[in-house]
Amino acid sequence: MWNSLKARLFQGYRTGKFPHRPPVLPERFAGRPQITADNCDQCGKCTEICPSDAIDFNNGNLRLDTGKCIFCSKCAEICPNKAIQMSKEYRLAAMSREKLIVTGSIWEPERPTDREFLKFCGKSLKIRQVSAGGCAACELDFNVLNTLAWDMGRFGIQVVASPRHADCILVTGPVSDNMLLALKKTYDAAPRPVWVIACGSCAVSGGIYQNSSVCSSGVEKILKPDLYVPGCPPHPATLLEGILRLMNKKF
């Protein structure tokens, strides 16, 4: 016992200061894209190189769908006029699909409006995670939130082993045909009301698998998400910030 206490004292406090302080992001971190519409000459190079069809022109206006984007930064690298650039903005989560579309307008993260969710889950949140055909990248970065470095339990957020104990279903992956029934059974087993989080570009839109014949192109065609967290995979700070904002936590 004494050895355990000595080791704990030696280790000290390892949990980061997020969200009261900004997260320490890697140098190559690619956050929410920024569009400068005046710089775009509609050459089309960005649409041709995008591997997930995340970029298009709507009535001549450049748009980028972060729900499809895998944040490879190829569009920013190839654009001759720097009309698209990757920022360090890690607050990517949205509560409506439309808010994931980047135009030239100023981005301001949404605040929650679901009063029923705040009534049930404003102080604590029990999550059942479902990997619906994911590659394990989103799953791993979600698991990181349970470590000492992030400790999402300090906000009342916990992962539960059974959907019968869950307030929320967190889905990763493009929802492959082989996982479709399992996802539906998990959702049906959860007590009502229950909410859904789409974690990662695959869960939001299908990502690079959106045109696959054996995937559902994201969870939205099966269940309506209450929180969309884009990324491939989302940074732990992106996911935790989105969940805390959904819970209306003040920071």
pLDDT digits (tens, 9 = 90+) for 139-164: 999 999 999 899 999 999 999 999 99
Residue 97 lies in a domain: no
Percentage, residues of the chain above pLDDT 70: 98
pLDDT for 69 beyond 90? yes
Count of domains forming the chain? 1
The verdict on residue 163 lying in a domain is: yes
The boundaries of the domain holding residue 120 are 115-246
What distance in Å separates the CA atoms of residue 116 and residue 3, rounded to the nearest whole number?
48
Check which CATH number belongs to the domain holding 219 and give it. 3.40.50.12280
pLDDT level of residue 60 (50, 70, 90 thresholds): confident
For residue 193, whether the previous peptide bond is cis, meaning omega lies within 30 degrees of 0, is yes
Give a yes or no: residue 153 inside a domain: yes
Is 73 contained in some domain? no
220 within a domain of the structure (yes/no): yes
Is 4's pLDDT higher than 80? Answer: no
- Answer whether residue 99 is part of any domain: no
- Is residue 11 in a domain? no
Parallel, antiparallel, or unpaired for β 125-131 and 101-102? unpaired
Pairing relationship of beta strands 61-65 and 101-102 according to DSSP bridges:
antiparallel
Q: Determine the Cα–Cα distance for residues 136 and 134; give it in Å rounded to an integer.
A: 5
Write the CA distances from 26 to 23, 87, 234, 237, integer angstroms.
Answer: 10, 12, 13, 12
Specify if 65 maps to a domain.
no
The structure's pTM equals 0.93
